[in-house]
Structures are given as C-alpha cells and as structure tokens.
Amino acid sequence: MRKLIACGVALVAALALTVPGALGGAEQTPGVTAKKIVIGGTFPLTGPVAAYAPIPAGMAAYFSYINARRGPDGKRGVMGRQIVWKYYDDGYNPANTVQLTRKLVEEDKVFATVGQLGTEHNLAVRSYLNQSKVPQTLVSTGASYWGTQYAEFPWTIGWQPDYIAEGRIYGLHIKANFNGKKIAVLYQNDDYGKDYLLGVRAALGKAYSDSNIVAQEAYEATAPNVTSQMAKIKASGATIFVILATPASTIRAYGTGKALGWNPEQIYVNSVSATAAFFNIAVASAGAPYVNGSLSVSYLKDPSSPTWTNDAAMKQYRTIMAKYAPAVNANNGLYFYGVAKAETFVQALYKAGKSPTRVGLMKALLSLNQNNKFALPGVTQKTTKKDHFIISQMQLQRYTHPDWKLQGKLIEGRPR
C-alpha cells in the first residue's frame, strides 16, 4: 500500500512539472512556446489609407531576417524562438479593427499586438486589450494618449514621437520665422488631426493663434477630396499653410492648392505624410516648384535620400528587403518605418528575458535606454515608469525634389 501511494505521489509530481498550470503552477504565457512567439496586428491593407500597407510588410521582412540569422546567443530567432507575425486588413474601419483584434487574441492567441495602425482604431480596442491584459505595443500612431493615459491603460504604449510634440515644433518654427503672418490649417477631423492642431496652437499661444490662424478647416478621413476646404483656405488670405493630414488628403491638398492658383509662402506637412514616395505623387499632381520647400520633421533615416547610401544600417535594410521582400520599392519610407519598429520590438523581447511574459515585455518597454540603428543619429529610445514616450526627438527636414534634406539639429519634442 505504501509503495502504491509513493508511486501515485511521484506521478502527480511528474505531471506538475510537465503540464502547464498543474497544481496551481504558472500557466503558459499565451502565444509563447519553446519554439515560437506569436504576435499580430491590424492594418489598412485596403481602403482610404491603403498607402500604409508597406508598414506590416516591412515588419514581416525584418522578422523573417531575425528568424533566419543567429542572434548574440548563437540561436536563430529571439533566444531560439521564431517570431510568428500575423496581421489582418481592417480597411481603416474601427469596427473591423475590433473584430479582428478579438480574433488575434481569442483565436490566434497572440502574445501581444504590435504596431497596429490608426488612432481611432487603437482607441477602439484599447479597453478590451487592457482588460484582457494583452500588451498593445508600439502602436502606429503618434496620439498623445499612449504616453499620457498609462495609469488607466498600463498595457498600451506607443513608439513614434507624439503628434502634439510634433505640432509644437511647427508652431515654434512659424512664430520664429514668420511672425505675424496669416496661417491656414487643414486637419483630419478626429483625434489624429486634433492632436496635431493642439500642438501647433499650444506653441503659438492662444492669443497668437486666435489672431493669426485665419482658416482652420477640418475634413473627414473618408472624404474623396478637400476641394471645399482648400477654397476657404485660399479665400482666407493666409500665406502660411499647415497640412495635418494622412497621405491621400495631403496629396489632394497640394494638387487642389495648385489648381486654385493659391501659392503660400511656406507649407508645413506632418511627418506621417512626409515620405519621398508620397511626395513623388504630390509632385506629379502639383509640380515640383509648388511642392519644393515644404517643411516637416523626421526621426528615422530616409531610404530615398543619398545621405544614407553608405550607412551600415541602411545597407543592412536594403539587404533584408532584397532577400525577404524583393518585389517592393525599398525606397518607400514606410517599409523602413516597419523595419525600424520591428527592431524595437526585438530589442524589447531580448530585454524581457529567456522566459518572456506579458508583464515582462511591458517592463522591458518601460525601461528602454538604447539607440535604434534605423533612427537618426542621436535619437535615443528612452522610457521610465513615468515616461512612456519611447521616441521624442525629431529633426526638421525640407523637401527638394526628389528627396528630403535634414535641417538644423535634433529637437526634443517633449523637453524634460
């Protein structure tokens, strides 16, 4: 009888070691096994902003590279785990984002969501992901919420400089270089555009904004054109034009402004739309003389610029794209954006340790203090428990067809 009891105890002990969660032991982290780690996201592969489709494709190329090469520990992937990257097309419709995010969590069992695109879209799933304690990481939107509302939503974090900080840089530059001149603003009528506008107005100050912003025109993200808004902007008499829009509407603004015969002295355009790929289309629509001289900001190296031809990170980027996405135009900065974002996620995975957990990933993302080789020299990814803005440094850039040229020095968008 004693031998039988002893055998039973041994069997139960063995099961406790081999079955996840047995006898109250630690449950296996969803999406993580000894061989793989599953992550995912939603992106507008079709619809009004399908121009952003290169972002998850760039991420896929970089994850494929990570899976194939041997890391610092001599293992392929991250600590021997292959990254499985699942992403779905939400068509830039928040309702689709909700449905597909539930699919990622409940069916695909992702470890974390990574890089999901769209301010309204991430807001639509933020509560669900936080209630489920699924990391909502490195979202592809610069809304300030991701860095300011962390007490209520601790499982969410952004990546790129936030829109308020970026808008602030434009406001400061206008006041320093075009003091007293009339300003017109075109912005997307949602939290995305309103954050940018808030930053511009905050830098100018209320009194200055009220006196000098003579046109402040909103457009809907799904609108087929911005003709009526541009007509009002021309009629305002403004000479400084600030475009706070997604790529398609930005391109339409240039084309419509040219067609209306309105020639502002200076155009500012938000970084979301300021890639050479989009501006080649703007040039085709409005002509290089009209588009040249536009100002924006950057925080990443530009694959379309000869400045970085001999840069080691740019060479690596081109090698990765040639092998894992040979059919695409690697000069499109959105592929580069995806690669740079994927690099940050890989850095955080290593920091999370040999047995990554969702809690461990968030702790890793909130204790960053390192460079990203794909970012501009001097840009540091730095976070703390109270500072959730991973990147906040930017540099002004001016467009001269066919590419952007950096101006001045790095600017801290959120002075600490």
The contacts of residue 75 (CB under 8 Å, 6+ apart) are none
Evaluate if residue 97 carries a pLDDT over 70.
Answer: yes
pLDDT of amino acid 5: 40
The answer to whether residue 6 sits within a structural domain is no
The answer on 124 and 254 residing in a single domain is no
d(C-alpha 197, C-alpha 217), whole Å: 11
The answer on 276 and 312 residing in a single domain is no
Q: Provide the residue type at 120 as one letter.
A: E
The answer on 134 and 43 residing in a single domain is yes
The answer to whether residue 75 sits within a structural domain is yes
Supply 12's token pair.
Answer: 């139960």
Per DSSP, what are the bridge partners of residue 371?
380
pLDDT of amino acid 19: 37
pLDDT of amino acid 11: 40
d(C-alpha 267, C-alpha 247), whole Å: 15
The answer to whether residue 19 sits within a structural domain is no
CB 230 within 8 A of CB 218: no
pLDDT band at 303; cut points 50, 70, 90: very high
SS3 349: helix
Portion of the chain with pLDDT greater than 70, in percent: 93
The answer on 91 and 142 residing in a single domain is yes
The answer on 116 and 96 residing in a single domain is yes
What number is the average pLDDT over the span 177-187?
98
CB 377 within 8 A of CB 367: no
C-alpha angle 117-138-52 in degrees, rounded to nearest 5: 30
What is the per-residue pLDDT across 104-138, written as a single tens digit (0 to 9) for each? 999 999 999 999 999 999 999 999 999 999 999 99
The DSSP symbol for 69 reads S
The answer to whether residue 350 sits within a structural domain is yes
The answer on 214 and 138 residing in a single domain is no
The answer on 167 and 294 residing in a single domain is yes
pLDDT of amino acid 24: 32
pLDDT band at 3; cut points 50, 70, 90: very low
How many domains, the chain? Answer: 2
CB 273 within 8 A of CB 253: no
The answer to whether residue 2 sits within a structural domain is no
What is the per-residue pLDDT across 215-264, written as a single tens digit (0 to 9) for each? 999 999 889 999 999 999 999 999 999 999 999 999 999 999 999 999 99
Q: What is the pTM of this model?
A: 0.88
What number is the average pLDDT over the span 169-197?
97
Evaluate if residue 12 carries a pLDDT over 50.
Answer: no
The answer on 343 and 278 residing in a single domain is no
Q: Provide the residue type at 90 as one letter.
A: D
The answer on 230 and 143 residing in a single domain is no
What is the number of residues in the chain? 416
CB 229 within 8 A of CB 217: yes
Cα-flanking dihedrals φ and ψ of residue 99, to 5°? -60, -45
What is the per-residue pLDDT across 387-404, written as a single tens digit (0 to 9) for each? 999 999 999 999 999 999
pLDDT band at 277; cut points 50, 70, 90: confident
CATH number at residue 141: 3.40.50.2300
The answer on 173 and 206 residing in a single domain is yes
- H/E stretch holding 408: strand 403-412
Q: How far is CA 307 from the centre of its chain?
A: 23
Q: Which among 270, 52, 141, 401 is positioned nearest to 253, based on CA atoms?
A: 270
The answer to whether residue 14 sits within a structural domain is no
Round the average pLDDT of the chain to a whole number and report it. Answer: 93
The answer on 90 and 214 residing in a single domain is no
Evaluate if residue 21 carries a pLDDT over 50.
Answer: no
The answer on 153 and 178 residing in a single domain is no
Range of the domain at 376: 36-161+306-385
Evaluate if residue 18 carries a pLDDT over 50.
Answer: no
Supply 351's token pair.
Answer: 């920091």
What is the per-residue pLDDT across 39-51, written as a single tens digit (0 to 9) for each? 999 999 999 889 9
The answer to whether residue 325 sits within a structural domain is yes
pLDDT of amino acid 40: 98
Evaluate if residue 213 carries a pLDDT over 70.
Answer: yes
What number is the average pLDDT over the span 291-320?
97
The answer to whether residue 338 sits within a structural domain is yes
